[in-house]
Amino acid sequence: MHNIVGSGLLAVLLGGVVAVLAFVPFVALSYWRRGGLSFGRSVLWAGAAVYFWAIWTYTLVPPPDGDAYRCAGTNLRPFEFVDEIREAVAVSGRYLTDPVVLQVALNVLLFVPLGFFLRVLGGRGILVAGLVGLAVSGVIETTQLTGVWGVFPCAYRVFDVDDLITNTSGALLGSLVAFAVPREYRGADKTPDADLPRPVTRGRRLLGILCDVLGVGLLQSGVAVVLQAVLVLLFEDPGRTGDVASAAGAAVAAVVWLLVILVTGRSVGDLATRVRYTNGVLPAWLARVLRFVTGAAAYSVLESLPAPWSIASVVLLIATVVLLFVWKDGRGLTGWIGRRRLVDDRAGVVSPTVDGVSRR
């Protein structure tokens, strides 16, 4: 039980890491291919990320202790589990709760989500589900047979051809179960209404801000970690390399976000959620600079400044949060200062005049 709980927690942790790293691309792909982001598909994709790691953690983790290491055997006889179930049930008299029966059932159930996700999220049918289930199970069994590809002197878990059969059966079953999901919610193909404009709401704007904050934070952290590792290797006394690396990370993230905004007029979060600001009363170049200085990358730079200058980041954060709820479209500081509105980028070009009358 302890091993099962530990494997589950590890799968959730690794799946969460993948979900965070893939969040911005996932939002962008959802808006471009399905017109928006639904809660249900978001939950399913997060579940798929956790499930991917669960397959490996439940089948390969934990590794054996050195002192207790024993080489495991192999089973190359197909459907031997049928005889094992018959013999076990004859002894115990329990058809549903016998450990041998449960082991086979769990091998089937472990791959049911694979077939389900392939149909609902990937739009793939039962043939693909069976082939993918067989391939994934084959990789797992081969990994076990080779002692994790030579890491261990021999297999520490049994290579079982019956596992290939039961795992593949589970994937096929999951593909059939997925038929219970309505057709309009299945598949990865672009939906017919994906290019139709949608209302710009506070929730959508908040999602764009989250994309910017997360994207800036990940880029900044990634650059800082790599740079700090290099500095530690180059200098015997690293000193304040952490501060230098953090500042460099913030600078790199700011430059990337600035270039994106100068070229497109929109931040990464705006692009991901398919919104844009109307022209307003400012020249285009000034409006783009304003978009940068009121965004997540500028906040990151301000936050990295020494006191008392870093207080400006707090002011920017408070202003952003407050103004997010002033207008329904959440246009924030950029919209307030430049008299700009947020619109869906799939809508026609709208240019508001100074008097506030919009014309196409």
> What's the pLDDT tens digit per position in 128-175?
999 999 999 999 999 988 888 888 888 888 889 999 999 999 999 999
Of 331, 335, 300, 330, the C-alpha closest to 316 is: 300
Per-residue pLDDT, 352: 43
β strands within the chain, DSSP E: 74-75, 159-160, 275-277, 342-344, 351-352, 358-359
Q: pLDDT class for 211, splitting at 50, 70, 90?
A: very high
Q: pLDDT class for 359, splitting at 50, 70, 90?
A: very low
Looking at per-residue pLDDT, the higher value among 44 and 6 belongs to: 44
Q: Is the dihedral angle over the CA atoms 274, 279, 280, 286 positive or is it negative?
A: positive
State pTM to two decimals.
0.84
For residue 52, the 8-state DSSP code is H
What's the distance, Cα to Cα, between the start and end of the chain in Å?
65
SS (H, E, C) 154-193: CCCCCEEHHHHHHHHHHHHHHHHHHHHCCHHHCCCCCCCC
Would you say residue 214 has pLDDT above 70?
Answer: yes
Which three-class secondary structure state does DSSP give residue 351? Answer: strand
Q: Is the dihedral angle over the CA atoms 105, 110, 116, 119 positive or is it negative?
A: negative
Of 240, 208, 210, 235, the C-alpha closest to 224 is: 240
pLDDT single digits (tens) 265-289? 999 999 999 999 988 888 999 999 9
Q: How many residues does the chain have?
A: 360
User: Looking up tokens 């996932």, which residue turns up?
Assistant: 26
Q: Average per-residue pLDDT in the chain?
A: 87
Q: Is 240 exposed, middle or buried (0-12, 13-18, 19+ CB in 10 A)?
A: exposed
Taking the C-alpha atoms of residue 28 and residue 26, their distance in angstroms, rounded to an integer, is 5
CA atoms within 13 A on the CB side of 190: 10
Per-residue pLDDT, 269: 96
